Amino acid sequence: MDEKFDIQGYMTRGVEHIVAESLKATLKDPRESAFMLQFAAASKKASKRRAEAEKAGEHIPPFLIASITSSCNLHCAGCSSRCNHATVDDTPVSQLTDAEWLSIFREAEEIGVSFILLAGGEPMLRRDILEAAGKTPDILFPIFTNGTYMDEAYFMLFDKCRNLIPVMSIEGGREETEMRRGKGVYEKLLSNMDNLHRKRLLFGASVTVTTRNVREAVSRAFLDTLADRGCKLVVYVEFVPVTEESRELAPGEEEREILRDGIAHLRETYQEMVFVSFPGDEKTSGGCIAAGRGFFHINSHGGAEPCPFSPYSDRNVRDTSLREALRSPLFLALREGELLSDDHAGGCVLYEKRSEVEAILEGR
């Protein structure tokens, strides 16, 4: 698969595009623009490290997803993390400490990772880890948050550490957002956006795209609501059904076409904003980019997994380096096999074909 497709070149161009668009989006804010210029230089160095590793036969992805806690205060409808038991209501046990995460962040910087997406649970429950992330300024940390824990202390942290970018989950207007996330959440999100905008802090929004909200998610009315409040980044994430009851919400080809066309139009209309789609069109990216092809996932206990929707691991970063985790038998088998490029109904190929992933893990 990788001989037929230049994943390194594809991901490098993608990183450069995101950095260039982010720089363009911050030109009116001298402090944010200065940081993005600094990050652009760091990103080029990271890209060079990845290219050198590639020449030596080692593939380093530019992205890492870090689920830093298993705790969350909300019970969002259809939450994959809860269905996979990665998020629970029990008191967390044996989760990575802030010092352990800082070590991971610094190793990621050394090997050429440019972006670490902080997730959970609810990542803002772990202020200690976000402060640790702020000590690694050459990596950009989008923080995927429900926004309900954002307060003045966090605004001060984001002002001090410009590499921390809150990305708040919103599903469209009030009805769609509160149907999934609960009463009062929509107003809290708008209040956060207004406060961040007043303080001239960079922030984004994350939209879980379903059959129910896809048209609203790419509508002018919704994007005007975000743009008027200073939002500079919108991440669209296709809903992955983890129960039979939620399968009807998973985008099909019709919805993915609406999303693709909508994003293309939005990029022309809102030129000061960055639009990212995940997983996006896997055909143009040579298949799924999980398992270290373009990114991988570390759970709150240190397990290195292909992605958050494929919670299988044969290495723990408490016991091994990131480099060694990327060379785990599971990751190598997925990258060198055909599973990541297999046909599937959409959303996440590894979740849909989880029995095959389990077979690889068990050596069958």
Least confident of 222-236, 271-285, 350-364: 271-285
Share of the chain above pLDDT 90, in %: 62
* pLDDT band at 328; cut points 50, 70, 90: very high
Q: How far apart are CA 364 and CA 345, in angstroms?
A: 25
Cβ atoms 77, 10 nearer than 8 A: no
Least confident of 2-6, 119-123, 188-192, 292-296: 2-6
Which of the two residues, 109 and 25, has the higher pLDDT score?
109
Nearest to 232 by CA among 69, 32, 66: 32
State residue 1's pLDDT score: 42
Query: Which of the following CATH numbers is that of domain 7-74+86-361: 3.20.20.70, 1.10.10.970, 3.40.50.150, 3.40.50.12500?
Result: 3.20.20.70
Res. 352: pLDDT tops 90: no
Phi, psi of 64 (to 5 degrees): -135, 140
In this predicted model, what pLDDT tens digit does every residue of 260-281 receive, in sequence order?
Answer: 999 999 999 998 888 888 876 5
Give every CB contact of residue 206 below 8 A, 6+ residues apart in sequence. Answer: 144, 167, 168, 169, 170, 234, 235, 237
Q: What is the rounded average pLDDT for all residues in the chain?
A: 89
Give every CB contact of residue 116 below 8 A, 6+ residues apart in sequence. Answer: 63, 64, 65, 66, 105, 108, 133, 139, 140, 141
Q: Is 88 exposed, middle or buried (0-12, 13-18, 19+ CB in 10 A)?
A: middle
Sorted by where each begins, the domain ranges of the chain are: 7-74+86-361
Res. 245: pLDDT tops 50: yes
Least confident of 114-123, 163-172, 189-198, 240-249: 240-249
Give every CB contact of residue 126 below 8 A, 6+ residues apart in sequence. Answer: 68, 69, 98, 120
Res. 298: pLDDT tops 80: yes
State residue 31's pLDDT score: 85
State residue 2's pLDDT score: 44
Give every CB contact of residue 351 below 8 A, 6+ residues apart in sequence. Answer: 240, 242, 309, 310
Average pLDDT for residues 147-162, to the nearest whole number?
96
Q: How far apart are CA 18 and CA 25, in angstroms?
A: 10
Q: How far apart are CA 70 and CA 119, in angstroms?
A: 9
Give every CB contact of residue 257 below 8 A, 6+ residues apart in sequence. Answer: none
Average pLDDT for residues 244-256, to the nearest whole number?
84
Q: How far apart are CA 166 and CA 160, in angstroms?
A: 13
End-to-end CA distance of the chain: 21
Give every CB contact of residue 329 below 8 A, 6+ residues apart in sequence. Answer: 314
Average pLDDT for residues 293-298, to the nearest whole number?
93
In this predicted model, what pLDDT tens digit does every residue of 107-146 receive, in sequence order?
Answer: 999 999 999 999 999 999 999 999 999 999 999 999 999 9
| pTM strictly above 0.85 | yes
State residue 346's pLDDT score: 57
In this predicted model, what pLDDT tens digit does every residue of 57-113 receive, in sequence order?
Answer: 999 999 999 999 999 887 887 777 877 777 887 777 889 999 999 999 999 999 999
Copy the structure tokens of residue 24: 């363009």
Res. 283: pLDDT tops 70: no
Share of the chain above pLDDT 70, in %: 93
Name the pairing type of β-strands 304-305 and 295-298.
Answer: antiparallel
Cβ atoms 135, 156 nearer than 8 A: no
Q: Cα–Cα distances in Å, from 325 out to 24, 71, 244, 277, 298?
A: 35, 25, 33, 26, 10
Cβ atoms 290, 340 nearer than 8 A: yes
State residue 261's pLDDT score: 95
In degrees, rounded to 5, the angle at the alpha carbon of residue 274 between the alpha carbons of residues 12 and 130 is: 80
Q: How far apart are CA 130 and CA 116, in angstroms?
A: 11
Least confident of 1-5, 244-248, 355-359: 1-5
State residue 8's pLDDT score: 66
Q: How far apart are CA 242 and CA 80, in angstroms?
A: 6
Q: How far apart are CA 295 and CA 291, in angstroms?
A: 6
